[in-house]
Chains A and B, each alone.
Chain A
Amino acid sequence: MEQQLYGIFLYGVFLLTMGGIYAVLTLGLNIQWGFTGLFNAGVAGFFAIGAYTTAIVTSAASERHLGGYGLPVAAGLVAAMVASAVIAWGVGRICIRLRADYLAIATLGIAEIFRLVLKNEVWATNGPRGISLIPKPFEHLPEPWNQVGMLLLVFAVVAVLYVLLERARRSPWGRVMAAIRENEAAARAAGKDVERLRIEAFVLGAALMGLGGALMAHHIKFIEPNAAEPVSATFLVWVMLVIGGAANNRGAVFGAILIWTIWSTAEILSARLPPEWAVKSAYLRIFLVGLALQIILQRFPGGIFRERRFRTAPSSSTREQPP
């Protein structure tokens, strides 16, 4: 009995850690889509860049892939954010002017190119076999504490990001972003450098996706090119954001943890089914998540947590309303 409870506890810790990592990814997408209205269909690509960067920077030296510098995990996380941000800046410079549909197609194409590179540049990434033995923070601690430590680390990251992003949302910068999303022409007419601001949002969002990818790589200790498959990363993150509520950071975090809990509980339940049904139920699970997305889009377009709008002062329009 005690053994079983302990097992459930460990599973709960693992589940929440993954949920927290998805919350980082969803917060990243929320900056791009929720606040600024940029349709990024290549979440998986930035996720992979972050994961591979940290894997190369922090893992022990190996002949199978580039690097193996054995640097601390913190350095890996920073490097992952920087690498994703730099690549996103390059991508943003060339395709940020595209209208939403075109940006979606372009980012999906770019993510697929990343995946091809990761698969084919065997000298750097060990190709399809991926990079294993990525260090995990706190892994030297005794049994439950190593897992709990990772969970606390992830939750601390989510909390810090949440506070920072809430401040950003209420700041003039955040309001300009909403203005660009709502009416680009008006924002331009008000003298805002729309292109530059959109790139800023794209880069910031991609940096968080890289961070999420890096955390995932440390948590699972392994990364391979197919982790950047559209099903596992991009689609799930989109569903999390749309169901939780786009343009609401609380919604992004809540949606991530909710959908991840449903997603992995369904996996546990289906593992108890006979083998041929277990495989089938994995497909059914994707189908049902897709269906949930459609229902939310049609019935509750704002998601669970709706966007909190700024109220403008009734009389003097020049004065800024405190948040």
Chain B
Amino acid sequence: MIEFLNFYLIPGLVLGSIYALGAIGVTLTFGILRFANFAHGETMTLGAFIALSLATFTGWHPFAVLPIAMALTALAVLGMDRLFFRPLRHGSTIILVIASFGLMLMVRSLVQLVWGAQLRSFGQGIDLPWVLFDALRIFPKHVTIVCAALVLMLAVHLLLSRTRAGKAMRAMADSPDLARLTGIDTERVIVTTWIVGAGLAAAAGVFLAYDTHVESQLGFKLLLPIFAAALLGGIGRPYGAMAGGLVIGLVEELSTYPWIGSEALVPPGYKTGVAFAIMVAILIWRPSGLFRGRVF
């Protein structure tokens, strides 16, 4: 039982909150710009590496440089939108998918060019777990990651429900034509969407890198689970994406628990396949997701 909590449930929650942050960005761009952004994973990689450089340069804790890393990543993504997505915005959206596919490889190779391909870490020394009730082991870094993720999700909630920009975003996700007719500046909504998505992606990248390590494949490994989370939550549904991320993270970690007999239910080598399998299953049987998102 304790083993279940220590090695399956807690890592699942940590991974789930990271996926949730990434999935919000995917679901917002999919809902508002109407295309699946394959470069979103690479945004996370970029955010993690920017934070790594800032943390090395200043010597601060990665969470202290996180806001700057989020801002810089958002700036980079706005530049990418200006160069590669905006010129294609008025054509068929599938061309945007090809462009994002190309951008994914471009950003990754640029990251490898600048930072190299080897593993790096934030180098926080050894993180000793707190031991509760003699058996429950909780790593401080996991607590900080989950808390920081919750704070960011709360911020997204406040943005969407309390601000004009958030309302405009929700309106545009529901119906872009209607939003335009009511006088919403759609280009501004798109800029806000990219800033929110890229900022959260950078945070997700930094959290995962802080938990494990920084590498140029980090974002690609996150991409499919995050698509799965966004689809599970329903496209264009930020709260759905949060829930979807948590579910995918938990299922992925819990799938290797020996539920039946003493063998892992899913062999550890196939752990990452669980998210893909869920995703394919949702696409086939319930493309609107669990929370009744939109299907374009």
Out of B38, B95, B267, which one reaches A120, CB within 8 Å?
Answer: B267
Query: When chains A and B are docked, how far (Å) is the Cα of A306 from the Cα of B287?
Result: 34
Given known A108-B224, A287-B109, A297-B88, contact A238–B98 (CB-CB < 8 A): yes
Which stretch of A55-63, A93-101, A193-201, A249-257 is in the interface? A93-101
Residues A113 and B277 in contact, CB atoms below 8 Å apart: yes
Given known A100-B97, A104-B97, A108-B224, contact A286–B280 (CB-CB < 8 A): no
Residue A82 at the chain B interface, CB threshold 8 Å: no
Closest chain A residue, CB of each to CB of B270: A116
Q: Chain A contacts of B95 at CB under 8 A? A: 297, 301
Query: When chains A and B are docked, how far (Å) is the Cα of A248 from the Cα of B180?
Result: 38
Residue B91 at the chain A interface, CB threshold 8 Å: yes
> Chain B: interface residue count, which band?
35 or more
Q: Chain A contacts of B279 at CB under 8 A? A: 105-106, 109
Number of A-B contacts (CB under 8 A): 122
Contact mask B253-296 → A, CB, 8 Å, 1/0?
A: 00000000000000101101100110110011001000000011
Please classify the interface of chain A as helix (H, G, I), strand (E, B), loop, or mixed, using the class held by over half of its residues.
helix
Residue A138 at the chain B interface, CB threshold 8 Å: no
> Chain A: interface residue count, which band?
35 or more
Residues A280 and B277 in contact, CB atoms below 8 Å apart: no
Residue B125 at the chain A interface, CB threshold 8 Å: no
Residues B272 and A99 in contact, CB atoms below 8 Å apart: no
Residue B102 at the chain A interface, CB threshold 8 Å: yes
Closest chain B residue, CB of each to CB of A100: B94
Give B residues with C-beta under 8 Å from A. 30, 35-36, 38, 83-84, 87-88, 91, 93-95, 97-99, 101-103, 105-106, 108-110, 112-113, 117, 220, 224, 227-228, 231, 267, 269-270, 272-273, 276-277, 279-280, 283-284, 287, 295-296
What are 8 A-B interface contacts by the 8 Å CB criterion? A37-B94, A100-B94, A101-B93, A109-B276, A120-B267, A120-B269, A287-B109, A293-B98
Taking A110-B276, A116-B272, A284-B113 as known contacts, 4 extra A-B pairs with beta carbons closer than 8 A to each other, sorted by chain A number, are: A102-B231, A112-B276, A290-B102, A293-B102
Give A residues with C-beta under 8 Å from B. 37, 39, 41, 94-95, 98-102, 104-106, 108-110, 112-113, 116, 119-120, 230-231, 235, 238-239, 242, 279-280, 283-287, 289-291, 293-294, 297-298, 301
